[in-house]
Amino acid sequence: MNKIVKYTLTGLGGTVLLAAGAATYLAATFDPNAYKAEIIKAVQDSKQRTLKLDGDIKLTFFPKLGASLGKVSLSEFQSPQTFAAVEDVHAALAFWPLLHGEAVVDAVSVSGLKATLIKRKDGSSNIDDLLGKSDAPASESKLKFDIAGVSIAKTELSYRDEASGAEYTVRDLELSTGRIANGVQSPVKLALHVQANQPKLDVKLQGKADLTLDMDKKLYRLVGLDLNASGSALDITELSLKASGDAGADLSAHAFDTGKLKVSLSGKQGGNQFEVELDAPKVAATGDQFTGEQLKLSAKLKGTNTVAATLTLPSIAGTAQAFGSKALTLAFDATGDALPGKHVSSEMRGSFAFDADKQSFEVALAGGLLQSQVKAKVALNDFAAPHIRFDVDVDQFDADLYFPPSDKPKAATPEQPFDLTVLRKLDLDGKLHIGALTVAKVKSRDINLTIKAHQGLLNVAPFSAKLYEGSISGSLAVNAAPATPGFAVNQNLTGINVAALTKDAAAFDTLEGHGNVGINVTTQGNTVSALKKSLNGSATLNLTDGAIKGINIAQKLRSAGSLVGQTQTQAANSAEKTDFSELKGSFRIAGGVAHNDDLSMKSPLLRLAGNGDIDLGNDSMNYLAKATLVKTLQGQGGQDNLSGLTVPVRVQGPFASLKYSLDFGAALSDSTRQRVEVKKQELKTRLQDQLKGLFR
C-alpha cells in the first residue's frame, strides 16, 4: 500500500514537473508577436477590417494561462476609420482548474477602450458585419464560470443615430469587481459619465453593491446598493439622484423582490426646486402574485409657495400585471404668503386599481382638499393614447383665496398668447359638480358640467349654475385643432341681477335691473384681445325695474327751458341714474362690434329708443338714444309744456370714461317744427270746413 502511494505521488510529481517544464519552455521559446502579420491578415480577409497591434503580445503558461495585449485598434468595415481602440487588455486563467474542467479567470482588465456605434439613415449599423450568425453548433462546454476580478478603466463608448441626429456618450467608465462565480458574493463598483443631446442629458453616476449570482440556477441579488447621480437632464439642473437598498430576482421561479429600498430625486426647474422620495420597505412578486408593505411616495415643490404631498399605501396586492390597494392616503400641505392663513393642509383617502393587460387605472378618493370636501372617481384606459373618465363632486371652492384678483392697474406689458395644444391629445369624458364657487369675484352655486374632449375639440354641455338671484344654462365649445383656436359660447341667463354680476365680473357699474340675457357668439384667437375683436353672433337683453347709471335724463329734461339751443356734455356721474321699468334690445355682433337698432326703454316719465355700436374689441361705445317725455313734469320742479319733448342723448367713449351729450337745441327745434305742422293741419282742416259751407 505504501508503495502504491509512493509511486502515485512520484508519478504525479513527475507529471507536474513535466507540465511545468513544458510551460516554461513554451514561455521562453514561443513568441506570439511573430504571428502579428498573419493575425492582421486573417482579420482583414474574414472581416474586411484593419486590425492594428501596436503593442507587444505577452503570453504566460504557468501557473496562469494568460495574455496581455498592448495598443489594439479595429477599423470600420472596408474603411481606415477607427471603430474601436484599446490601450491595454489583460486576461489570465488559472492553470490547474482547467485540468478539472473549471475555468477560473484570474483577472480581466481593460484600459483605455474607445468605441463608436453608428446607426445609419437606412437602419443599418456599423457592427452588422460583426454580428453575423454563425453556423457552428453551440458549445456544450461545462466549464464553471469563475472570475477572480474584473477591472475596466478609462473607457468611452459612443452611439450616433444619423437619421435623428441623436448622440449618446458614456465617458470615464470605471468598473471593478471582486470574485465573480456562482453563489459567491462579490463587491462591485461602477462610475461613469453619460452625455446626450436627445434628450439633453449630462449626468455623472457612481455606485457600489455586493453582487451574488448563480448562472445555473438563474439567481441574482444585490445587497447594500448605494447609488448616486448628479448633473442635468432636459430643462432640469442641479439634478441629484440617490438610491439604496437590496434587490433580488429568481428567473427560474419568475420571482422578484426588493428590501429597504429608498430612492430620492431632487433638482431645479426654472425657478422651482423639487424633491421626490420613495420608501419601499418590502416589495415582492412571485409568479402571478405581487405584494408590498408600507409604501410611501413623497414630493415637494419650492417656488412662490412650498407644496408637499405624500402618498401612503399600507399594503398593495395583486399580480405583476394587475394590482391595487383598498386603503391609500394622500396628504397635501402648502405654505406661502399668498395662501389663506399662509398655510393649507389636506388629506384624502381612497383606493386604486391597476391592470396592465387591460391598460386601465382607476382611483377613488374622498376627503379634504384646499379647504374643500371632495369626492372623486377617475379612470384611465389605453396607456398609449389615454382616455380619461371622471366624476367629481366638490362642496365649495374659493379660487380667489389662492389666486386673488388685483384691483391695481397692471403695468403695460406685451400680451402673451395662451397655448391650447395640450387639448389636441386630450381624450376626456366626465362630470363635475361644485356646490359653491368663487372665481375672480364672480360667485355661483350648484354648478353642473358635462365635459367631453377628443382630438382637440372640447365641449362643455350641458352647463348650468345658479348665480346672482337667477340661473345660467347653455354650452361652451373650444376647437384647439387648428393653429388658431376657436370658441363658441351659447348661454342663457334668466332672472339675473345684472348690476351685481357686471360689477363683480368686470368692475362695470353702469346698468341695474333684473331679467334675462342671451348670448350666442363665436370667436377665434390665441390672446384675449384677439378673441374680443373676433366676436361674431348675437345677444339679447330684457330687463325690468332697473336703471342706467351715470346720468339722470329726467332731471336734465326738467331744465330744458333754460338750455334752449344748447348741447350739454357730461362725464358719467356715479351719483346719477335714469330709472326704467323695462329695457329691451337685441344685438348683432360682427368683428367684435355689437350693433343695436331696437333699444327700447320705458319708465313712468320717459320713453327711450336708440341705436348704435358697442365696440367690445376696443372697450368703447358710440350710441345714440332719443329720450321722450310722456307726461307733464309739473309738480316735480319741471314745466307743463314739455310733454312729448324728444332729446337726443349720445353716449360715447371708452368704457372707463363714458361721456353723455344731450342736444336740447335739436330737441326744441324738433318740438317747434312739430307744433307748426300741427297748426298747419288745424288751419287746413278749418279752411276745408269753411269751403264746404259755402257750397251747401
Per-residue pLDDT reduced to its tens digit, 10-21: 333 333 344 444
What is the average pLDDT value for the chain, to the nearest integer? 82
pLDDT surpassing 50 at residue 543 = yes
The residue-averaged pLDDT of 145-170 equals: 88
pLDDT surpassing 90 at residue 466 = yes
Q: Which three cell numbers stand for residue 312?
A: 401612503
The residue-averaged pLDDT of 97-119 equals: 77
pLDDT surpassing 70 at residue 696 = no
- Per domain, the residue ranges of the chain are 1-30, 461-670
High-pLDDT (> 90) share of the chain, %: 40
Cα–Cα distance between 455 and 452 in angstroms, integer? 10
pLDDT surpassing 90 at residue 548 = no
Containing H/E element for 8?
Answer: helix 2-29
Tell me the helix, strand and coil percentages in the chain, rounded to 5.
20, 60, 25
Which range, of 7-11, 131-135, 346-350, 563-567, averages the lowest pLDDT? 7-11
The residue-averaged pLDDT of 652-675 equals: 66
Is-contact 450 462, C-beta < 8 A?
Answer: yes
If one compares 635 and 362, the residue with the highest pLDDT of the two is: 362
> 421-438: per-residue pLDDT in tens?
889 989 999 999 999 999
Cα–Cα distance between 535 and 112 in angstroms, integer? 68
Which range, of 123-127, 404-408, 577-581, 609-613, averages the lowest pLDDT? 404-408
pLDDT surpassing 50 at residue 2 = no
Which range, of 38-52, 295-309, 640-654, averages the lowest pLDDT? 640-654
Looking up cell 345658479 gives 466
Question: Which amino acid is located at 361 in the chain?
Answer: F
Question: Of the segments 215-219, 259-263, 405-409, which one has the largest average pLDDT value?
Answer: 259-263
Which range, of 103-117, 620-634, 641-655, 669-683, averages the lowest pLDDT? 669-683
Q: Give whole-number Cα distances, 326 to 81, 207, 329, in Å.
A: 61, 36, 10
Neighbour-count burial of 181, counting CB atoms closer than 10 A to its CB (0-12 exposed, 13-18 middle, 19+ buried)? buried
Instruction: Please give the pLDDT value at position 194.
Output: 95
pLDDT surpassing 80 at residue 157 = yes
The residue-averaged pLDDT of 462-484 equals: 93
**Full-prediction pTM beyond 0.75?**
no
Looking up cell 423639487 gives 274
Q: Which long-range contacts (CB under 8 A, 24 or more apart) does 284-289 make?
A: 284/255, 284/256, 284/257, 284/258, 285/254, 285/255, 285/256, 285/257, 285/320, 286/253, 286/254, 286/255, 286/256, 287/253, 287/254, 287/255, 288/319, 288/320, 288/321, 289/317, 289/318, 289/319
High-pLDDT (> 70) share of the chain, %: 80
If one compares 537 and 609, the residue with the highest pLDDT of the two is: 537
Which range, of 5-19, 362-376, 541-555, 574-588, averages the lowest pLDDT? 5-19
DSSP state for residue 182 in the 8-state scheme: B
